[in-house]
């Protein structure tokens, strides 16, 4: 049965944040809110957690997983950015964007796109999630909480607890959460290509 954490949206309780991070470090899989919608997340190096996310979402090896980072400095450890892409990404973070970029050697091969050797990265603009990431000290390996056959992501903590009680280890509820997934921009060839139009504004990239 999943633990349920009711985390204050503006002043996350340190005790709750610590318990969530302990759970993640011990191999747990969490459902947590972001500035776009809920996501599934586990520790960066958690192989079993990766497979659990694949199973819940019924994903194949072409799916881009996302490294959800605390800040731009952390993001830069895991992807290569040209000067042009650096400026575009930095100006758009934190925010509801996922960027697909060439992965550095810090990223395990199993997390990369099988052929392109790329990985998704993002920095959420969400107080509770930022508190968790700051305490964790490394990215969360994540994927949007969109269940097979569903067109809309799940957005209510209690609803997620009911649906995923026996397949995740914790649900973090921090009040209202967005209903749209992130906008996904592929910058792997230096040119912005829209993979998914979502919560982010495309105009800032000269698109849309």
pLDDT averaged over 10-residue windows placed end to end, the chain, 208 residues:
96 98 98 94 95 94 89 96 94 95 94 89 97 98 92 86 96 88 93 91 81
| Contact between residue 20 and residue 13 where contact means Cβ atoms under 8 Å apart | no
Residue 176 is predicted with a pLDDT of 80
Residue 69 belongs to domain spanning: 3-205
Element (H, E) at 113: none
Q: How many domains does the chain have?
A: 1
Instruction: CATH number of the domain at 37, please.
Output: 3.90.870.10
Residue 200 is predicted with a pLDDT of 87
Residue 203 is predicted with a pLDDT of 86
Residue 115 is predicted with a pLDDT of 85
Burial of 43 (0-12, 13-18, 19+ CB in 10 A): buried
Residue 28 and residue 8: Cα distance in Å, rounded? 21
Which distant-in-sequence residues (6+ apart) come within 8 Å of 194 by Cβ?
183, 184, 185, 186, 202, 207, 208
What tokens does 87 get?
């400026």
Residue 94 and residue 36: Cα distance in Å, rounded? 11
User: In 10 A of CB 99, how many CB atoms?
Assistant: 27
Q: Concatenate the DSSP letters of all residues of 27-42 into one string.
A: T--EEE--SSS-EEEE
Sign of the torsion formed by the C-alpha atoms of 8, 5, 68 and 183: negative
Residue 208 is predicted with a pLDDT of 63
State the residue for tokens 């005790």. 15
This prediction's pTM? 0.95
Residue 203 and residue 208: Cα distance in Å, rounded? 6
Which distant-in-sequence residues (6+ apart) come within 8 Å of 15 by Cβ?
none
């Amino acid at each position: 049965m999943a633990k349920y954490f009711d985390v204050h949206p503006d002043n996350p309780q340190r005790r709750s944040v610590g318990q969530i991070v302990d759970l993640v470090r011990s191999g747990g899989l969490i459902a947590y809110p972001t500035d776009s919608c809920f996501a599934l997340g586990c520790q960066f190096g958690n192989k079993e957690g990766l497979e659990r996310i694949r199973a819940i979402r019924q994903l194949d090896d072409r799916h881009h997983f996302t490294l959800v980072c605390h800040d731009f400095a952390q993001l830069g450890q895991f992807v290569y950015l040209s000067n042009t892409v650096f400026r575009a990404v930095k100006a758009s973070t934190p925010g509801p964007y996922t960027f697909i970029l060439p992965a550095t050697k810090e990223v395990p091969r199993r997390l990369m796109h099988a052929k392109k050797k790329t990985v998704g990265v993002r920095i959420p603009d969400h107080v509770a999630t930022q508190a968790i990431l700051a305490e964790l000290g490394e990215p969360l390996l994540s994927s949007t909480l969109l269940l097979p056959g569903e067109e809309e992501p799940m957005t209510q903590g209690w609803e997620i607890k009911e649906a995923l009680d026996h397949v995740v280890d914790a649900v973090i509820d921090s009040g209202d959460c967005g209903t749209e997934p992130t906008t996904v921009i592929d910058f792997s060839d230096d040119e912005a290509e829209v993979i998914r139009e979502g919560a982010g504004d495309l105009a800032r990239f000269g698109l849309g």
